[in-house]
């Protein structure tokens, strides 16, 4: 996994873009960065876009929305335990099914990266690459994720009851309107989990670089370590 997500192995030394690059062109540096980003993004998507990628990972597992969490105990006492559990599972399965849609969007963002973008990533903070992905893919990811999440979650009978309850509560100002539709909530949480995973892997590589994905990337990485 670590090799697969060597995504930004060359990012640990901020001043490196300006120093020691006599032996490699800007074009090669950008190419090496793109190679590593492509491999790392694919690995992160693979980690989450499988069964239990979300449900089996406590760090990204999607919990019930706040309005349901507040009444979960009472709902179970009313015999709704199986429906509550089904909803929890369905929310996370929806995220797992949606995440593979991120791969082509990440690839496009990498392809469209400019020299200035690459420089900002190379010389940026611990999550500068993740921030780049978030900036250039969030809107399209939401559009891709939402229909998939809707299709999966609408199979759960409890959804209609939740919608009715939360819609009234939102009108009264008792809950965040962002939680008025379960699909929007799950889509947002799926994106949060995806970018959190990318950020974690980026930090790991910055703290303990493990080599780059291709020969060009390794060459840039070697210069950055000097």
> pLDDT tens digits for 99-112?
999 999 999 999 99
Q: What is the pTM of this model?
A: 0.79
* pLDDT score of 147: 96
Q: What is the pLDDT of residues 149-187, one digit of tens each?
A: 999 988 876 677 666 666 666 665 656 666 668 899 999
* Average pLDDT rounded to a whole number, residues 86-99: 92
Between CA 189 and CA 60 the distance in angstroms is 8
Is 5's pLDDT higher than 80? no
pLDDT, position 207: 66
Task: Using the predicted structure, report yes or no on whether residue 12 has a pLDDT greater than 50.
Answer: no
Residues 6+ apart with CB under 8 A from 12: 205, 206, 207, 209, 224, 225
pLDDT, greater one: 180 or 225: 180
Is the per-residue pLDDT at 59 higher than 50? yes
Average pLDDT value over all residues in the chain: 76
Distance CA(111)–CA(106), nearest Å, equals 9
Q: Identify the pLDDT of residue 146.
A: 95
Contact indicator for 44, 201 with CB cutoff of 8 Å: yes
Per-domain boundaries in the chain: 9-225
Q: Which two tokens stand for residue 15?
A: 């001043």
- Tell me the three-class secondary structure of the chain, residue by residue: CCCCCCCCHHHCCHHHHCCCHHHCCHHHHHHHHHHHHHHHHHHHHHHHCCCCCCCCCCCCCCCCCHHHHHHHHHHHHCCCHHHHHHHHHHHHHHHHHHHHHHHHHHHHHHHCCCHHHHHHHHCCCCCHHHHHHHHHHHHHHHHHHHHHHHHHHCCCCHHHHHHHHHHHHHHCCCCCHHHCCHHHHHHHHHHHHHHHHHHHHHHHHHHCCCCCCCHHHHHHHHHHHC
User: Among the ranges 21-25, 39-43, 97-101, 117-121, which has the highest mean pLDDT value?
Assistant: 97-101
pLDDT for residue 209 is more than 70? no
Checking if the pLDDT of 134 tops 80, the result is yes
């Amino acid at each position: 996994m670590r090799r697969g997500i060597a995504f930004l192995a060359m990012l640990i030394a901020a001043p490196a873009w300006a120093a020691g690059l006599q032996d490699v062109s800007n074009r090669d540096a950008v190419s090496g960065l793109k190679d590593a980003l492509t491999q790392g993004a694919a690995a992160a998507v693979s980690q989450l876009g499988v069964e239990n990628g979300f449900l089996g990972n406590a760090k990204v597992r999607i919990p019930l929305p706040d309005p349901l969490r507040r009444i979960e105990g009472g709902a179970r006492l009313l015999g709704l335990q199986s429906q509550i559990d089904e909803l929890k599972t369905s929310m996370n399965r929806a995220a797992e099914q949606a995440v593979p849609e991120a791969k082509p969007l990440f690839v496009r963002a990498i392809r469209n990266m400019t020299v200035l973008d690459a420089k900002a990533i190379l010389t940026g903070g611990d999550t500068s690459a993740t921030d780049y992905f978030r900036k250039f893919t969030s809107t399209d990811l939401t559009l891709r994720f939402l229909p998939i999440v809707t299709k999966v979650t609408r199979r759960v009978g409890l959804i209609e009851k939740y919608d009715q309850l939360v819609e009234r509560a939102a009108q009264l100002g008792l809950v965040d309107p962002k939680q008025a539709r379960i699909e929007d909530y799950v889509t947002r949480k799926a994106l949060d989990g995806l970018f959190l995973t990318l950020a974690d892997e980026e930090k790991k590589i910055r703290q303990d670089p493990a080599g780059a994905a291709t020969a060009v990337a390794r060459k840039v990485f070697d210069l950055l370590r000097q």
